[in-house]
Structures are given as C-alpha cells and as structure tokens.
Amino acid sequence: MKPIKKILVGTVLTVSFLALSGCSGSGLDPNHLLVAHSHNENHPVNVGMTYLCDQMEASTDYTFSVYPNGQLGGNEEMIQMVKAGVLDIAKVSSSSLEQFNPAYAIFSLPYTFQSTEHYFRTMEESEAVQEIFRSTYDDGFIAIGWFDSGSRSIYTTKEGPCETPDDLHGLKIRTQGSPTSIEMINNMGGAATPMSSGEVYTSLQQGVIDGAENNETVLVDDGHGEVAKSYTYTQHQYTPDIVIISVETWESMTEAEQQLLLDTMDGAWQAHEEKWLEIVDRNIEGAKEMGVQFYTIDKTPFIEAVASQQEAFCAESADNARYFNDFLSYVD
C-alpha cells in the first residue's frame, strides 16, 4: 500500500471515530465543519482559529469543531484530510505545502522578507501571495489566510553580536533538518547542525552546539536564554503559518459566505497577533532578566551571503522568478 493510501485509510478511521464519538464531519452534516491544527489550547493559533469559528457560527448556519494538539495528525496528515474533503479547515506550516506547489518554498527561502514591515506588507498586498494560495485548487484545497510566527534569528553562547558571516565561522548552529535551512546556515558562515528542538537546551548547555536559530519565544518558554546569552536579530526567515480549506467545502459555500470567511480570517489574524506579540514581549523581558543581550544589526552581509540560494530558486521556473521579484517590490 502506498503511503498516501495509508494516510487516507487512517483518515477514514479517524473520521469514523469522530462520528462514533458524536461529532459530525462534513460528510455527515454539511453545515458542521471540522477544523484542526497542531498547537495547544493556549497557543495564538488556537486563539485565532477559535475566533474564526465563533464569528462564523454567529453569522451563518455553520457550526464548527476545533481539534488542537495534533489530534487529527501532523501537517502532512491534515493536508491529506483536507485534500480528501474529510477535514474542512486546517492550519499547517508553509513548508509542508511545498510538495503540492514548489513555489511555497519561497516562504522558507532566507531573506525573502528583509524586515517585519516587508513581511507584513507583502503578505497583505501581494497578488503573488494570493496566486500561490490559489495554486493548489486542482489538488483539492486552497489557502484562505495566514498567521504570523515571527522571525528566526541567531542566538549563541558566545558573547557579543553576530554581525557578519565571519562572526559565525567555526560555530556549530542548530538548525531545522530541511536542506534549505542547512544550506542557509552554512552560507551565513556557521556550521549547520540539524537536530530536534527537544535536544537544543542540553546541547547548548553541554557545548555540543554553540548556538541555534529561532524566534524569541524559545528563550524563556524553552529555557534557552539560561545558557545562550547573545541574541542577534539576523531575521533570516519569516515563515508564515497557512490556513487551508477543502475545495469541496469552499465550493459548497455561497459567494457571500466565502467572502465572510475571508473577512473573518482578517479578524482571526488580529486575535492571533495580539496573543503572539504578548508571548514574544514576555519572552524578551524574561530573557533580559536572565542576562540575555539583544543586538540589532545591518543584515546586508547575511543577505549577500545567501544570494546564491535566492538565485537558484528563481532559476527553477519563470513563476518562481516572478514571485520573488514581486515580493522584493514591497521592500521599503
């Protein structure tokens, strides 16, 4: 049995379980929609998704069940469920969508976004973003919105800022296991060291690695600020979370309901962002109390260092080049 078929068989079993538990999936009650994501109930994503469902319930005949904590599977499983029409809406990572359209890789490409302002402006105004969001229609789903997950930056046990690739030379930097991320850190001057997120604290503490890259929330919530005292705002990646909907569910809605869903996603984004910024601010203040120093730098040396990755992405297709140039047009 092929992997996708295994996933779909598992999906059917999952939905059958939900039905036996008294929950209606879209196949049993077309006005009851199933929504899923991988985060806990207190996470900003759950705040945003709950807002979306509550507002839609108040304005339409639809009802919703939200399943957090990866109850219905990981990113790939959720995408397959949405694609098959047995899960209506899910929040997934943008990187997990690359298998359906390689253009989604643009969101993981280093320095696609060169500042928070550039990131927000592009995501909110770019027609290229919307084209990518609609590109998977024939695969059974489209994207209806996104959530901010901050920027990823370098933090180290070494004192002082990392202002150029020379400052990272010889430093073992934990990164995610994707080829894009590994190449990125190597190009930025470090020695990329892939490992799971659960290993990072101990590896920093024991000197197995000299640093890592992530947003500020790991400093207090994961304790990394206890051992890594220098956080440099390289801001090399802004990777949005993507909210997708089954085409079957989307096409069952009236145009007015579709527009209401898109408009309500804007409110869900705001609800998420308020909670997200609260968590980031708490981590920054807590990290400062731990003695972590924060450094803002001129990112130009790092942007230049990863230019070959951007060029390779653009060379893969005319669409990739067009998307990347469109994104760049929103730089200040």
pLDDT, tens digit, for every residue of 225-251? 999 999 999 999 999 999 999 999 999
Is-contact 279 218, C-beta < 8 A? no
Sheet containing 89-93: give its strands across. 63-67, 32-36, 89-93, 241-246, 141-147
What percent of the chain shows pLDDT beyond 90? 87
Asked if 139 and 217 sit in the same domain, the reply is: no
Same domain? 173 vs 320 = yes
Q: Is pLDDT above 80 for 12? A: no
**Which of 311, 287, 326 minimizes the C-alpha distance to 153?**
287
Query: What is the rounded average pLDDT for all residues in the chain?
Result: 92
Does residue 247 share a domain with residue 136? yes
Cα–Cα distance measured from residue 92 to residue 76, given in angstroms and rounded to the nearest whole number = 8
% of the chain at pLDDT higher than 70: 92
Look at residue 177 in the predicted model and tell me its pLDDT.
85
- Residue at 160 is within a domain: yes
Q: What is the pLDDT averaged over residues 182-194? A: 97
Q: Is there a single domain that holds both residue 83 and residue 129?
A: yes
- Return the pLDDT at 176: 87
Closest C-alpha to 176, from 281, 232, 101, 93: 93
- The answer to whether residue 246 sits within a structural domain is yes
Q: Pinpoint the alpha helices (H) of the chain.
A: 3-20, 44-59, 75-84, 116-125, 127-134, 165-168, 179-187, 200-206, 217-221, 247-252, 255-290, 300-305, 307-316, 318-328
Whether 122 maps to a domain, the answer reads yes
Residue 31 pLDDT level (bands cut at 50, 70, 90): very high
95 part of a folded domain = yes
Residue 1 confidence (pLDDT): 30
Based on the domain organization, do 211 and 299 belong to the same domain?
yes
Number of domains comprising the chain: 2
Q: Over the stretch 115-171, which tens digit does the pLDDT of each residue have?
A: 999 999 999 999 999 999 999 999 999 999 999 999 999 999 999 999 999 999 999
Is the pLDDT at 27 greater than 90? The verdict is no
Does 256 share its domain with 276?
yes
Same domain, residue pair 162 and 249: no
Same domain, 182 and 59: no
3-state secondary structure of 43: coil
Quote the pLDDT of residue 29: 80
User: Could you tell me if 156 and 18 lie in one domain?
Assistant: no
Residue 227 in any domain: the answer is yes
Residue 264 lies in a domain: yes
Region 263-277: mean pLDDT is 98
110 occurs within a structural domain: no
Write out pLDDT tens, residues 281-310. Answer: 999 999 999 999 999 999 999 999 999 999
H helix count then E strand count, the chain: 14, 11
Rounded to whole angstroms, what are the CA distances from 168 to 138, 160, 176, 295?
Answer: 44, 11, 17, 15
Residue 271 has pLDDT above 90, yes or no: yes
Q: Is 127 helix (H, G, I), strand (E, B) or coil?
A: helix
Q: Residue 13: what pLDDT?
A: 42
The residue segments making up the domain with residue 24 are 3-101+116-149+239-280
Res 30: pLDDT: 85
What integer pLDDT is reported at residue 99 of this predicted model? 87
Residues 137, 89: one domain?
A: yes
The CATH code of the domain that includes 73 is 3.40.190.170
d(CA 27, CA 85): 8
Residue 9 has pLDDT above 70, yes or no: no
Give CA separation, 179 vs 97, 154, 184, 264, in Å.
15, 18, 8, 36
Q: What is the pLDDT of residues 35-84, one digit of tens each?
A: 999 999 999 999 999 999 999 999 999 999 999 999 999 999 999 999 99
Same domain, yes or no: 228 and 269: no
Looking at the structure, do residues 120 and 245 belong to the same domain, yes or no?
yes
The radius of gyration of the chain from alpha carbons, rounded to an integer in Å, stands at: 21
Task: Report if residue 106 sits inside a domain.
Answer: no
